[in-house]
Amino acid sequence: MTRWLASVQSLEEAQSLIEHLPDILDMKNPSQGALGALTHQTVTEIVRWVNHRCLCSATVGDLTMQADILSAAISDMAATGVDYVKIGIFDEPDLSRCIEQLESTIKAIHTPVIAVMFADQLPAQKMIPTLAKAGFAGVMLDTAIKNGQGLLDHLSIGTLKRFVVEAKSAGLLCGLAGALTIENIQQLSPLEADYLGFRSALCHQQTRTSFLDPELAKQIHSQMNAGMPKAKTG
């Protein structure tokens, strides 16, 4: 069954989800870009409050693809106690080399690292084999430009299915996000990604930088837990 991820920007938001905790509580600063980072202090406070009631993840920020910068950011965020560290994969000239150079850091920290690729800025080269070889634990799709367009405005269901199959074939966890709505759950659940990620759908008027609404989280939680029929094969 596909799990769900909810992104929060503060301890207060996390606490507002106490009755409907997601499978993965993600921490990011939506006012600072697609993968804006919260302070390590805030992340640590949220991790301690969660106290293993669900998994926790956190982003390191929209950083340039330089191995030394990313290695330091990954190590520092891993020290907060999160279960997953998420980094953005941006289409820059040294992308593949950067990923290869991160292998030693990823293996040293013992905290799974998730690569976030962007449906509206996908790298020209296929990245999943490179990510798997470097030791990444998972890969997800999101959207980089937060302009109201969602994942399905950029990629078809067929393309997303191929992404999920390729990721799982490489032994990676697979997530789908990017301005997803509650209506998208029925469309995307049959693809059998490991999780679907939500932020804007949890906020008033789908404004990702506004405060999270627990009632909207309840609706997402109920819809996800209801389960969806698996896609037919053959």
Is 230 known to be catalytic? no
Query: What band does 234 get if pLDDT is binned at 50, 70 and 90?
Result: very low
What's the CATH fold of domain 3-225?
A: TIM Barrel (3.20.20)
Domain range summary for the chain, segments of one domain joined by +: 3-225
Contact indicator for 56, 82 with CB cutoff of 8 Å: yes
- Token pair listed for 52: 């293993």
Q: Is 150 helix (H, G, I), strand (E, B) or coil?
A: coil
pTM of the predicted model as reported, rounded to 2 decimal places: 0.93
- Alpha-carbon distance of 11 to 51, in angstroms, equals 13
Phi, psi of 16, rounded to the nearest 5 degrees:
-70, -15
Is 86 known to be catalytic? yes
> Which is the catalytic residue, given 28, 133, 230, 232?
28
Q: Within a 13 Å sphere around the CA of 39, how many CA atoms are in the beta-carbon half?
A: 5
Contact indicator for 43, 7 with CB cutoff of 8 Å: no
Whether the per-residue pLDDT at 32 is higher than 60: the answer is: yes
Average pLDDT over residues 177-183: 95
Average confidence score pLDDT of the chain: 93
- Alpha-carbon distance of 125 to 92, in angstroms, equals 11
Report the sign of the C-alpha dihedral through residues 35, 39, 40, 42, in that order.
negative
Amino acid occupying residue 120: D
Amino acid occupying residue 94: D
